């Protein structure tokens, strides 16, 4: 997490949700789009673990600021629904721009062409917007660890859809397995979860071994590392319907 934050000024040039939208508005595919499509494909086999759990620099920024520094949880379960509106806007912009621009007209990996005609800004303007987005995500951490992930991230919904597809067609994928008989109700897993989930209650929802099922779980494994009784573990199998 710390290394992703340290290199974020470089990584934001390569990957930003802003570049996905601005690239779409100009009819070009960006490297950000390629990365995100790759994350969606990987999420079929690994849920949100690969992208959100370990590779997203913006998630890392929130975890360092909201979790390590402020030690604050994002607790509003109702506000998590806002990201579906964000998802609808994000998807709507992409669909509209692809129709308006007549599809994909080229590949501009870093979106640094001299003039981006559709939105009327140059590459410096793009980087300024990307920087504003990065700062905004960081400030959102004032609401709690990974608050932007919980409340606003449209990409989380895309990844969840890919994971639901995996569950529907029963492709073997990474899950977190709960063993309720091993749980001693210490709630260390609740404290460790960066998404503010009540993991202990999910572990003990039944008396049999089962997979934890929550759309906001990013499969980071923090709850697994925190558990002293091996009541939670990674598992790779055909997901439960």
Cα separation, 59 vs 11, whole angstroms = 13
Contacts of 110 (CB under 8 A, 6+ apart): 13, 14, 19, 30, 31
Q: Looking at the domain that runs over 172-237, which CATH code has it been given? A: 3.30.70.20
Give how far Cα 16 sits from Cα of 94, 111, 162, 183, 190, Å.
Answer: 15, 11, 20, 40, 30
Give the pTM: 0.92
Contact 160, 83 (CB under 8 A): no
pLDDT in tens, 182-226: 999 999 999 999 999 999 999 999 999 999 989 999 999 999 999
**Residue 233, helix vs strand vs coil:** strand
In the chain, what are the domain boundaries? 2-164, 172-237
**Strand 232-237 versus strand 173-178 pairing type:** antiparallel
Question: Which residue stretches of the chain have pLDDT < 70?
Answer: 114-120, 239-241
Which tokens go with 199? 């993991």
Cα separation, 28 vs 224, whole angstroms = 41
pLDDT in tens, 45-62: 999 998 999 999 999 999
Contact 133, 90 (CB under 8 A): no
């Amino acid at each position: 997490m710390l290394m992703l934050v340290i290199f974020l000024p470089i990584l934001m040039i390569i990957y930003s949700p802003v570049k996905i939208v601005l690239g779409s508005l100009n009819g070009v595919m960006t490297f950000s789009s390629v990365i995100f499509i790759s994350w969606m494909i990987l999420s079929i086999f690994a849920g949100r673990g690969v992208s959100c759990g370990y590779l997203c620099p913006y998630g890392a920024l929130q975890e360092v600021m909201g979790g390590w520094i402020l030690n604050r949880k994002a607790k509003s379960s109702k506000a998590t629904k806002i990201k579906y509106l964000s998802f609808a806007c994000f998807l709507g912009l992409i669909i509209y721009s692809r129709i308006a621009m007549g599809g994909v007209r080229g590949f501009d990996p870093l979106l640094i062409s001299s003039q981006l005609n559709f939105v009327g800004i140059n590459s410096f303007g793009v980087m300024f917007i990307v920087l504003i987005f990065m700062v905004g995500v960081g400030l959102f951490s004032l609401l709690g660890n990974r608050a932007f992930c919980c409340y606003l991230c449209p990409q989380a919904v895309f990844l969840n859809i890919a994971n639901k597809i995996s569950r529907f067609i029963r492709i073997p994928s990474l899950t977190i397995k709960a063993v309720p008989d091993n749980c001693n109700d210490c709630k260390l897993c609740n404290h460790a979860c960066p998404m503010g989930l009540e993991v202990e209650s999910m572990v003990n929802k039944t008396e049999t071994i089962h997979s934890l099922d929550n759309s906001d779980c990013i499969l980071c494994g923090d709850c697994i590392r925190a558990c002293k009784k091996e009541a939670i573990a990674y598992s790779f199998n055909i997901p439960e319907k």
